Structures are given as C-alpha cells and as structure tokens.
Chain A
Amino acid sequence: GAGVSQSPSNKVTEKGKDVELRCDPISGHTALYWYRQSLGQGLEFLIYFQGNSAPDKSGLPSDRFSAERTGGSVSTLTIQRTQQEDSAVYLCASSLAHGSYNEQFFGPGTRLTVL
C-alpha cells in the first residue's frame, strides 16, 4: 500500500502489561512521528525520528514510553507497565524531510484501551 500503516488497529490490555505498537511509514519518507489523541483532546506529539539523527523524545510523557526505528523504516512504540491514562489513539505519521515544512501523512492509528 502507498499509505502509512499501523498495527494493531485495536489493542485491549490489562493495567501493568507492556504493549508494542507498530508503524510502517510511506516508502522513502525519512521523517517519522508518533502522536497520541486522548478522548476529547487534540493530537499530542510524542517523538520524532529523522534519518540517522538522534530522535526528539521531548513529548514522551514518562520513562515508561520508548520508541525505536529500525533501518530507517519501521517504528515500534513501546509502553511498559501500562496505566489507564495511557488509553488513547496512537497515531503515526511520516514525511519527506526537506526544508522546515513537510506535510505529514498519518496512519489510521491504534486504539489502545487499558483496563
């Protein structure tokens, strides 16, 4: 497919468990972003990868959250010891990184529910 894909589309987990969310960006896009949208809120920036540069982790809400991007393509967002407040839709986006202004293309998101 040509777009950003994310898996799983839905994830229900118990409090205290770890979860992994996956993002496949558009081929050739060097920039990858993770956002989350909690109920009634806007999209909240989490982390940004650009090529081989060190990621911008300034949006990660706690040290339970981490993300990797392997081979400059697929990314995994990991949440350890999940809490109920982690319940949200997690969105991944990718973009071509030229200049400062790049349209970000979003995936459909993963809806995470922590019971």
Chain B
Amino acid sequence: DQQVKQNSPSLSVQEGRISILNCDYTNSMFDYFLWYKKYPAEGPTFLISISSIKDKNEDGRFTVFLNKSAKHLSLHIVPSQPGDSAVYFCAASPQKKLVFGKGTKLTVNP
C-alpha cells in the first residue's frame, strides 16, 4: 500500500513556464516532507523540504506548498529551465527513514 503517491509519471513544460509537481500522502503521522531530484545514473539529490508546521517553503526558483488537511504537497519551479529536466521524488519522513513516491519525470523543452 503506497503511502506516498505521485500520480503523474511524467510532465512536460516549456522553458520559462511554471512546473508544478504533485504528491499525495496517506499517513497523518508524517511530519516532514522532502523533494529529491534525480538525474540518470546518479543518486537522488536533496532539493527542498518542509516541516508539517509550515504551509510553504521557498528557495530561489523552488517553492514547496503543503496542505495538511488534504494530505497534499506540491513543488513549483518558476521559471523552469532545461537543466531542471530530471525525475523528481517526493518523500515523507516518519522519524528517521524516508518513504518515497514513484517519481515524476519532468522534461523542460527549450
């Protein structure tokens, strides 16, 4: 039973536009959420995180929004760049270990 779901396996956007990646979770005990970015043949790299006591965290072009009542979070990338093309994983933290979604492959077209 998947506790972290990324329902869109892929997303394609035009350079300069906004990319919105979505993630849903089922376990209300999750209290910390992270986004990781993964290029082919490399390990995932940390992008941005948010604690459950917040509803928004911003870091440059990346913003994560958390809606606890809906058990939903999203990652916004503005403006999108071709170098952002990668697989993005949403992860939730029940204490130490991370529970990952299946990922969304983002393609940013020049």
**Interface residue ranges, A against B (CB under 8 Å):** 4, 31, 33, 35, 40-45, 48, 50, 56, 59, 91, 93, 97, 100-109
Contacts and interface: CB of A to CB of B under 8 A. Distances in A.
A42 B103 contact: yes
Interface size class on chain B is 20 to 34
Contacts, number: 59
B104 to A, nearest CB: 11
Contacts of A41: 102
A100 B93 CA distance: 9
B96 A93 contact: no
A31 B98 CA distance: 13
A31 B96 contact: yes
Interface stretch (B12-20, B40-48, B61-69, B78-86): B40-48
Lowest 9 A-B CB distances belong to which pairs?
A106-B43, A43-B100, A42-B100, A42-B102, A101-B32, A103-B46, A45-B97, A106-B44, A108-B43
16 contacts: A31-B96, A35-B100, A42-B4, A42-B100, A42-B103, A43-B89, A43-B91, A45-B98, A56-B96, A101-B51, A104-B46, A105-B46, A106-B36, A106-B43, A106-B45, A109-B43
Contacts of A101: 32, 49, 51, 93
B101 A42 contact: yes
A97 B41 CA distance: 27
